[in-house]
Chains A and B, each alone.
Chain A
Amino acid sequence: MTTPDIAIIGVGLHPFGRHGDKSALEMGEDAVIDALDDAGVAWNDVQELWASSMEVKNPEAITGLLGMTGIPARSTFTGCASGATVLAQAANAIRLGKDITVAVGLDKHPRGAFSADPSVSGLPLWYGQAGMFLTTHFFGMKINRYMHDHGITEASLAKVAAKNFRNGSLNDKAWRRTPMSEDDVLASQYLNYPLRQYMYCGPDEGAAAAVLCRADIAHKYTDTPIYLRASQLVSRREGALELMSPALSLDDTASPTIFASRQAYEEAGISPEDVDVIQLQDTDAGSELIHMAENGFCLDGEQEKLLAENATDIGGRLPVNTDGGLMANGEPVGASGLRQVYELANQLRGRCGERQVADARVGYAQLYGMPGTAAVTILST
C-alpha cells in the first residue's frame, strides 16, 4: 500500500430520516459538531470547509451556525457522488497547505421522486413531456438487461434488499430499522420492472461530516486515524448506458464506476481481495448487485452464487452496506457519500457493535449518480 498523506481524525452524523422543521443547515451543524468532538478539534482550529447539498444553494452558509471565523468556505455538487467530492476537496486543501479541514454534506428533500425541467440536464422538453425524464427508468432497464445477460434472478434482488434492511435493523441511526424478509420484498409491487417498491431507496433528510488533517500530525488528535488511500471520480464516456440517455451508441462502453474503481485500486496500491468492508451505491437492489462486479469484487453473474451463500452479509467474505446502505438510510443526496465514510471509519475503528466486521482494516466506498458520475474512496487504518 502507498504512504498516505491525509488522515480522517473525526466523523459525524445527523441520522438520515424525516426530521420535521429542522433545517438542512441545522442537521449539518450537528454532524460537524459530532465530527469535531470525535476528532477533539475546536471549530476555531478548522482552516477550510467544503460543503455539498442538492436542496440548499449555499450550504457553506453553515459557518453562520458553527462560527463565522472567516475561513475559506466553499460548496460543490456532483449529484450522488457529492460526498466523495467534498472529502476530496477537503483533502486537496490540506495538500495545498492547510492543517485541518472539514467536509460536510447536508440535505432535506421533499417527499416523492425527484423532478426537474429536462433542460437542466441538457435534454429537450419533449423528453419530459413524453414521460421519459425519470432516473428510475435507467435502474430498471440496466438491471433487466444485466439479468438477461448474466443469469441473475429476482430472488437475488430480494436477497440484496432483505440484507440491507436487516443491516439497518442493527443500526440505531438508520431510517428503516424493520427487517423485511425476501418474501415481503417479492410481494411488493413493481415500480420499474424488475425492481419492486422495497428494492428502492427513498430521498430523505440528514447530514454527515468528516474532519481531516495531514497524516503526519494525526496522532496528535487520535490514536485511531483513518487514512485516505484513494479518491477518484470519473464522468461518463460516449456509448455507456447512463441515466437519461435518449439514444445510445451500439459500441458498448464501460460504466464510469469501472474506471473509477480501477484508478482507485491503483492509487491505493491494493486489489479487491484486500478490502474488508464495502459501501456500494444501492439506489436500488439491482444497482448494488451490478456494482459488486463493476468494483471488482466478483465477475458478472457470480453474484447469483455469492448472494445464495450470503457472502455480502456482515459475517460474509464481502460485507456490503453494513449500516443498511441507502436502502435503510435513504438518500439525502449531498450527504450520502459522507454517510458511507462515517460507517467505514467506524468499522475500521471497531466501533460498530452488533454489526462490526471482525478485524476490518481496509474500507471501500462507491457512489454513482446523475448525470453518469462515479466516485470511489478507499480508506484504511
Chain B
Amino acid sequence: MTQVPLAEGLFTWPAADPALIAGRASDGSLTFPYRSHRLVGGAREELEKVELPRRGTLWTFTTQLFRPTSPPYAGDDTEETFEGFTVGYVELPGALRVEARLTEPDPAKLRIGQEMELRIVPLGRTKDGDTTMIYAFAPVQEEASP
C-alpha cells in the first residue's frame, strides 16, 4: 500500500527526516503552509521555500472528541470507529507556532512546555486506496533517569 502526502508541498516526502515546508520573506518572516508570495510592506514578494525545525515545545493543546463533519474531514474512520484526538500549537524555536494533530490522545499525558517532535502519520485513503499521510507532533520520550 502506497503512502502519499495529504497535500503536495506540506512537508518533504519521501525523506528520511521529513520537515514542514514554509515560505520565507526577505525580512525573515515565515508563512506556513508555504505560499508562493505575500505582501510585505505593501509590496508583492516571492517567498523562498525553507524547512521548519523538526523539534519544538508544546505551546497549548485541546481535544477533539467528536468526529468532525465529513466532508471536509477525511479520516479513515466512521462515526462508530472514530477515536478522539488532540490538537495543539507547537512552538518551533526561531520559526513559528504550528497547529498540528498530536499523537498522544490523552490530554492528561500532555503538558504545556514539553518537547515535541515531528511525525508523519496516516490519516485516510485516496480513492485509489493509497494511504494519505499528515504531519503530527509526538511527545519526545524523556530519557529515563539513571
- The chain A residues found within 8 Å of chain B, CB to CB, are 112-113, 115, 117-118, 124-126, 128-134, 137, 139-142, 144-145, 148, 189-195, 245-250
Contact across chains for B60 and A141 when beta carbons are under 8 A apart: yes
Q: Which one of B43-51, B92-100, B138-146 is at the A interface?
A: B92-100
Contact across chains for B107 and A190 when beta carbons are under 8 A apart: yes
CB distance from B42 to the nearest CB of A (A): 13
Contact across chains for A192 and B63 when beta carbons are under 8 A apart: yes
* B82-124, CB < 8 A from A: 85-89, 91, 94-101, 107, 112, 123-124
Contact across chains for B33 and A118 when beta carbons are under 8 A apart: no
Chain B: CB-nearest residue to A140: B62
Q: Which of B33, B60, B101 contacts A142 (CB 8 A)?
A: B60
Max chain B Cβ within 10 angstroms of own Cβ: one of A124, A247, A249: A247
Query: Known pairs A131-B73, A131-B75. 7 more at Cβ < 8 A?
Result: A115-B72, A128-B71, A128-B74, A137-B64, A144-B112, A190-B63, A249-B29
Contact across chains for A131 and B64 when beta carbons are under 8 A apart: yes
With contacts A148-B60, A249-B29 known, is A132 near B65, CB below 8 A? no
Label chain A's interface by main secondary structure.
mixed
In the complex, chain B residues whose CB is within 8 Å of the CB of A246: 32-33, 98-99
Q: Chain B contact residues (Cβ within 8 angstroms of A): what range?
A: 35 or more
Q: Which of A124, A133, A144, A145 contacts B68 (CB 8 A)?
A: A133
- The chain B residues found within 8 Å of chain A, CB to CB, are 6-7, 10, 22, 29-33, 59-66, 68-69, 71-75, 85-89, 91, 94-101, 107, 112, 123-124, 132, 134
Label chain B's interface by main secondary structure.
strand
CB distance from B32 to the nearest CB of A (A): 4
Q: Which of B6, B73, B87, B96 contacts A249 (CB 8 A)?
A: B96
Q: Which of B68, B96, B97 contacts A131 (CB 8 A)?
A: B68
Jot down 24 A-B pairs with beta carbons below 8 A, ordered by A: A118-B72, A125-B72, A129-B124, A130-B123, A132-B101, A137-B87, A140-B63, A141-B62, A144-B112, A145-B59, A191-B66, A192-B65, A193-B61, A193-B63, A245-B99, A246-B99, A247-B97, A247-B98, A247-B99, A248-B97, A249-B30, A249-B97, A250-B94, A250-B96
In the complex, chain A residues whose CB is within 8 Å of the CB of B86: 193
Chain A: CB-nearest residue to B5: A126
With contacts A117-B72, A137-B87, A141-B87 known, is A130 near B64, CB below 8 A? no
Q: Which of A130, A141, A195 contacts B6 (CB 8 A)?
A: A130
In the complex, chain A residues whose CB is within 8 Å of the CB of B68: 115, 128, 131, 133-134
Q: Which of A130, A148, A189 contacts B134 (CB 8 A)?
A: A130
In the complex, chain B residues whose CB is within 8 Å of the CB of A134: 64, 68
Contact across chains for B99 and A125 when beta carbons are under 8 A apart: no
CA distance A194 to B108 in the complex (A): 10
In the complex, chain A residues whose CB is within 8 Å of the CB of B66: 113, 191
Q: Which of B65, B85, B94, B96 contacts A190 (CB 8 A)?
A: B65
Contact across chains for B65 and A189 when beta carbons are under 8 A apart: yes
CB distance from A198 to the nearest CB of B (A): 14
CA distance A126 to B34 in the complex (A): 13
In the complex, chain B residues whose CB is within 8 Å of the CB of A144: 60-62, 112
